[in-house]
Structure 1
Amino acid sequence: MATPTVSVIIAAYNAMPYLTRCISSVAEQSIGQRELEIVVVDDGSTDGTATELERLTRVYPGLLDVVRQENSGGPSAPRNVGLDRAQGRFVFFLDADDYLGPEALERMVAAAEKNNTDVVLGKVVGVGGRGAPVTMFRRNRARTDVFSSRAYWTLNPMKLFRRDLLERHRLRFPTDLSIGEDQPFVAAAYLNAAGISILADYDCLFWVHRDDDGNITKRTSGSEPRLRFLPRMVDLILENVPPGPGRDHLAHRHLTVDVLELLRDHLVLEPREIQQKTLARLAETIAPLCHEGLREQLSAMAWLRLHLIRNEMLDEVLELVRFEQELKRTGGATPVAVEDGRAYARYPYFRDPERAIPDECYDVTDQLSLRHQVTRAEMRDGALHLAGHAYFHRVATHDVTTELILRERESGAECRLPVTHTATPGLGADEDLGEYTYDKAGFDATVDIATAAEGKALGNGLWDIWLVVGAQGLSREVRIGSKRAADVSGKAATHIVDTAEGLQTVTLYTTKPHGNFTLDIGENKHEVLPHLELDAIGWKGGIAAELVVTGRCTLDSYPDGTLTVRLTTSDGAGSETTVDFPVTQPANGDTFTVDVPVSSLSAGVWGGELRLAGWTVPLLPLPQDLAPAKWRRRGLPWYAKPVPAVPGDDELFALQVAKTDLVKAMVGRMKS
């Protein structure tokens, strides 16, 4: 038998009726059965799992390797058995309750091979109300590591592993843990992996909530099992990751996710004497990971929780858990107190003299949500007009000091400009149970491009648009544009603006992928010429000696009279004559028509172009077989006809205007 690409390892215990869909989802993978091996370890099931495995073996002959053993009490032993039997270049652990998307394995293997990575995380979707990890699946990551991503926030083993990685490091699931056994296994794989890929654009794994609540995490309750695996994870981090940001990144996950789950779902349900012992053990466990430098990474609530645990303040811990649960139930938001430019959440025991909990446990200044929306963003009459609202969540709009900043991306040059603070009655009334309103969060600003830089025009560059939102002494910057009203366009709009330094190109556009507003001044990303097009040129029907030029100008605005059709002729001695025929901006649409009365031109060969200041587009050449135009000037006959601009070159516009030579004309008639 050829070596399979993927060995899918399924530990099954009383897995009916879920097992059928689980195995079928693997057998029918788009990667094909020739690339697969399914190793199923029946861990002493008593519900018909064994019978179903026999049936599936007949349905998929040669595909399933079924092992039966006495119940081991957890998933570690059967997974290890499956891993020992696996032959594939990759292995994927799948719980018997869950199932795969049709292309999951093909896509994950392709990611591992293309990016030469050892672990691939496929997007997980919850089914039947079961929660699934989200933060690591915001976008695809071709190649990352455990310190540069949120991969560590999912430590379940339902991932694709390169088997060579697991064998080189002899990675197996610990059999002495009834829960959390996957964490040391996956963490060690992460830390030793050559790279990690994340597939976020395809639903790879479906996590099923069992109707009988039979998922392993549901069956195993109590603080004790969690207090066995958590110290092991702390030791693993201390032994393998040096002090610093990397260690803190991993510690963050355990100090928030695991600690909160232990308190919320288990400790609160236990007898008082058990609670006290549990809290003491938990305080001892987390102590090596806790230090003041970690504070910046954690929310105030998490830091307060850790403070109470480390000081073994049981009643306060229980009250904080109750407080958090009530917030979650009601959807409310904790009020804040603002003092000396800092904001403090009024969590339990804030400024309680008996507890003397430090203010830093309540400091949410850097965590306050800054909310904004742009309701107007447009260039008009040479100025940028902006309006909208911006405020700190839970901070009343008193003493508002919001201002606008234009910041050039490369040089960092800034223009700080005032805004008009406008009333926003009722803003916030439809959220937080109406507890907070922000009645003066509005802003309105007009930026004259010609004078914005201390009386001078803004220089060339990409000028990102920021607000410095201020209220009650708090202040924070935010790029604006990603949140905007439905009628505010993010489409690039290019304008020609008249300044003291001359005509300037200004494009208001939104960045990708975030959608924030930027002013492109000077064609850094948005050129003018693509906006100028010529469609046709020829004699105007019914009017002797008059050309009609049609074209399109998709610029959003330009000063009157600056867009012209310019004709030029030379006397051969270095002297040129030019005549401009202005293009009138169409009231609607972008198509224009220009009438050029050639009967007013002096004699000569005239070239032509569509011109907007320094931007030019050559006029289309006239067909060489175009009939001459004829007219009389002061009683004498004149004509105009197309000629090559250069002998043998018919690609440029060239129009010869001349007085008819009567002698030659008569000779020509006589010969004809």
Structure 2
Amino acid sequence: MADAVRSALAQGPAVAEVIAVDDCSTDGSDELLGRLAAGEPRLRVVRRDVNSGGCGSPRNTGIDAATAPYVMFLDSDDVLPAGAVDALLAAATEARAEVASGLCVRRELPSGSEQSWQEDLYAERTVLDEPSRRPRLVHDTLCVNKLYRTDFLREHGIRFPEGRFLYEDFVFVARVLAAGPRLALVPDRVYVWQVRRSAERLSLSLDRGRIANWTARIEACALAYDILLSAGQKDLARAARAKFLDHDVRMYARELGLRDADYRHAWWTRTREYLARYDAADWELSPAAPGRLLARVILASPEPRDLSRLRELAARPARLLPPYARTPEGDPVWSAGLPEVSLAPLLARPAATLPLAVDAELRPSARASLLRLRLHELYGKVAEAGPREVDVVWQARDDDRTRGRTTVALTPSGADVWVAEAPVDLAGIGSGTWDLLLTVHFSDGQRREVTAHALTGAGRLRRSAVPSAVYGVLLAQPYATHSGALALRLATGLRGVLTVARGRLRRLLR
């Protein structure tokens, strides 16, 4: 809380007032805010009488209390980077825009690794006369990386849902877009969203292990669609439904393997119920996109099925694993059991956009660790493009470091597979968690960046202690991520090995 308030005050003269809304807290926040306000005339504390149980009501209270011509929202766990308000305010005033929006950075704590949110939207400075000129705006469902003209919000009655309403941002942003504001987009970092996955109590949006979370997300997405459609924003409404398939469904489908049977059944049932509302035009937009293919399978089957294969298709980038079935007429389909789910739209796409499947197996060894790769054919499209070679690189999970970059040839092995082997210098990679990233190059000049499906079974993902001339010993653990991709954990030296052993002992004792 204190860091959030200080980051807002540190923006300088552009911030005329900071309104801290205390939602009837019991953790001492009111005392802390009182002490901060005593030494800062720009800070005003508003205490609600009853806890709302959500984020929407306190924000509405802040809108009502605002006296400045522009408002922003800042959550108590997050911070504003230096110059954020200046950048947004300058963009809004210069463009005479009702809304100015900038880049949000998602920061994982305690590691500090960062990932930009919807970076493509903020690649350059842009002014839009109306939101419909860029339908992808519906993907930026955050309310916090935006500056709003206060009278615009009040004139259109734009507010958050009251009370405990998960994903209230979805609804608020839909109401903003439905009002058709003039928008200014800037590439500046204007918000740092701090995520603590190891916290004892996860934030509402991160607590995805209960079916109530998915139900709330569907409700928010459905309401956002209705708001946009009712306002005559048909293109934005269609884009919102596409976003549900491409983002929301894929994100949760990747995690189905972590849930129990009751959750999976409820998730499948509720997803099918919502997808049944889609009309023909909703499905026609990018019919070969992974989210649409995944949703077609869900809609076609009354019970959960093919979860491992769906998990891979939901990955980013998507991987479509075998089998590659066809109808008796030769048309590509999801499987012999679901011939109604056509994969024919894939045939119209170039190899560089296909959900290519590459199997990977890492064999740590004292002499020479080896990475074995196997690229699968996909209805003739891979052979048509002519796979030639593959770039291999290991990227650190917590930052942008890369290690072990090499390029190896792909050679045919039978009619439907190409194989490659790449040496892996484990000591040169070093300690940490590393994701395997591949780039397949084709003879026709195309290239496709992919991740690799981790082969399991027969001890393939066993932890190995490997002698090392550099560190004495390395502890290497190939593993499959939640989406089924191959990744690698490495601990170097005796100290690293002991750290892993202590961590494993603590988990066993718990």
Query: Could you say which TM-score interval applies, normalised by the shorter chain?
Result: 0.5 to 0.7
Superimposed CA distance per residue, residues 75-105 of structure 1 (whole angstroms, 9 cap, x where no aligned partner): 0111111111111111101111111122111
Map of 2:343 onto structure 1: 360
Deviation, structure 1 residue 156: 1.5
User: Residues of 2 paired with 1:280 and 1:76: CA distance?
Assistant: 29
Deviation, structure 1 residue 255: 2.4
CA contact under 8 A between 1:147 and 1:246: conserved in structure 2?
Answer: yes
Map of 1:315 onto structure 2: 304
Superimposed CA distance per residue, residues 280-306 of structure 1 (whole angstroms, 9 cap, x where no aligned partner): 332232333342564442544212211
Q: Describe the SS at the equivalent of 1:253.
A: helix
Q: Describe the SS at the equivalent of 1:54.
A: helix
Pair 1:248-2:238 in alignment: yes
Deviation, structure 1 residue 227: 3.4
Q: Describe the SS at the equivalent of 1:217.
A: coil
Deviation, structure 1 residue 145: 3.7
Q: Describe the SS at the equivalent of 1:289.
A: coil
- Structure whose alpha-carbon radius of gyration is higher: 1
Corresponding letter in the other structure for 1:135 = D
Q: Describe the SS at the equivalent of 2:269.
A: helix
Would you say how many aligned residue pairs link Structure 1 and Structure 2?
371
User: Residues of 2 paired with 1:336 and 1:321: CA distance?
Assistant: 13
Pair 1:215-2:215 in alignment: no
User: Residues of 2 paired with 1:398 and 1:265: CA distance?
Assistant: 32
Once the two structures are superposed, the pairs formed by residues 620-659 of structure 1 within 5 Å of their partners are: none
User: Residues of 2 paired with 1:266 and 1:227: CA distance?
Assistant: 16
User: Which structure is higher in helix share?
Assistant: 2
CA contact under 8 A between 1:299 and 1:367: conserved in structure 2?
Answer: no
Superimposed CA distance per residue, residues 484-527 of structure 1 (whole angstroms, 9 cap, x where no aligned partner): xxxxxxxxxxxxxxxxxxxxxxxxxxxxxxxxxxxxxxxxxxxx
Cα 1:397–1:259 change in 2 (3 A) is closer
Which of 127, 131, 143 is the equivalent residue of 1:157?
Answer: 143
User: Residues of 2 paired with 1:333 and 1:232: CA distance?
Assistant: 32
Which of 268, 271, 274 is the equivalent residue of 1:279?
Answer: 268
User: Residues of 2 paired with 1:370 and 1:286: CA distance?
Assistant: 25
Pair 1:437-2:423 in alignment: no
Deviation, structure 1 residue 268: 6.0
Map of 1:301 onto structure 2: 290
Pair 1:239-2:230 in alignment: yes
Cα 1:60–1:259 change in 2 (3 A) is same
Pair 1:25-2:16 in alignment: no
Map of 2:505 onto structure 1: none
Pair 1:180-2:167 in alignment: yes
CA contact under 8 A between 1:397 and 1:438: conserved in structure 2?
Answer: no
Q: Describe the SS at the equivalent of 2:27.
A: coil
Once the two structures are superposed, the pairs formed by residues 312-391 of structure 1 within 5 Å of their partners are: 312-316=301-305, 318-324=307-313, 334=321, 350=333, 352-360=335-343, 363=346, 365-366=348-349, 368-369=351-352
Cα 1:305–1:290 change in 2 (3 A) is farther
Cα 1:438–1:60 change in 2 (3 A) is farther
Instruction: Give the alignment's TM-score, normalised by structure 1.
Output: 0.48
Which of 257, 260, 281 is the equivalent residue of 2:250?
Answer: 260
User: Residues of 2 paired with 1:431 and 1:336: CA distance?
Assistant: 28
Cα 1:47–1:80 change in 2 (3 A) is same
CA contact under 8 A between 2:294 and 2:313: conserved in structure 1?
Answer: no
CA contact under 8 A between 1:305 and 1:320: conserved in structure 2?
Answer: no
Map of 1:59 onto structure 2: 39
Superimposed CA distance per residue, residues 592-634 of structure 1 (whole angstroms, 9 cap, x where no aligned partner): xxxxxxxxxxxxxxxxxxxxxxxxxxxxxxxxxxxxxxxxxxx
User: Residues of 2 paired with 1:25 and 1:314: CA distance?
Assistant: 49
CA contact under 8 A between 1:295 and 1:303: conserved in structure 2?
Answer: no
Which of 246, 259, 263 is the equivalent residue of 1:269?
Answer: 259
CA contact under 8 A between 1:136 and 1:153: conserved in structure 2?
Answer: no
Deviation, structure 1 residue 25: 0.9
CA contact under 8 A between 1:74 and 1:178: conserved in structure 2?
Answer: yes
Deviation, structure 1 residue 43: 1.4
Once the two structures are superposed, the pairs formed by residues 517-666 of structure 1 within 5 Å of their partners are: none
Cα 1:242–1:284 change in 2 (3 A) is farther
Cα 1:393–1:367 change in 2 (3 A) is farther
Cα 1:259–1:369 change in 2 (3 A) is same
Instruction: Give the alignment's TM-score, normalised by structure 2.
Output: 0.62
Structure 2 gap segments, 5+ residues each: 355-375, 395-405, 413-440, 448-510
Once the two structures are superposed, the pairs formed by residues 31-110 of structure 1 within 5 Å of their partners are: 31-32=13-14, 35-110=15-90
Cα 1:190–1:293 change in 2 (3 A) is closer
Structure 1 gap segments, 5+ residues each: 1-18, 372-391, 402-423, 440-468, 481-672
Corresponding letter in the other structure for 2:59 = R
Instruction: Give % identity.
Output: 20
Bigger relative contact order, structure 1 or 2, given CA contacts below 8 A and separation 6+? 2
Once the two structures are superposed, the pairs formed by residues 94-133 of structure 1 within 5 Å of their partners are: 94-128=74-108, 129=113, 131-133=115-117
User: Residues of 2 paired with 1:247 and 1:269: CA distance?
Assistant: 31
Quote the RMSD (CA, aligned, Å): 4.0
CA contact under 8 A between 2:19 and 2:45: conserved in structure 1?
Answer: yes
User: Residues of 1 paired with 2:257 and 2:217: CA distance?
Assistant: 11
CA contact under 8 A between 1:119 and 1:197: conserved in structure 2?
Answer: yes
User: Which structure is higher in strand share?
Assistant: 1
Pair 1:147-2:132 in alignment: yes
User: Residues of 2 paired with 1:168 and 1:90: CA distance?
Assistant: 13
User: Residues of 1 paired with 2:331 and 2:40: CA distance?
Assistant: 62
Q: Describe the SS at the equivalent of 1:125.
A: strand
User: Residues of 2 paired with 1:399 and 1:98: CA distance?
Assistant: 49
CA contact under 8 A between 2:179 and 2:231: conserved in structure 1?
Answer: no
User: Residues of 1 paired with 2:325 and 2:410: CA distance?
Assistant: 16
Q: Describe the SS at the equivalent of 1:297.
A: coil
Pair 1:427-2:389 in alignment: yes
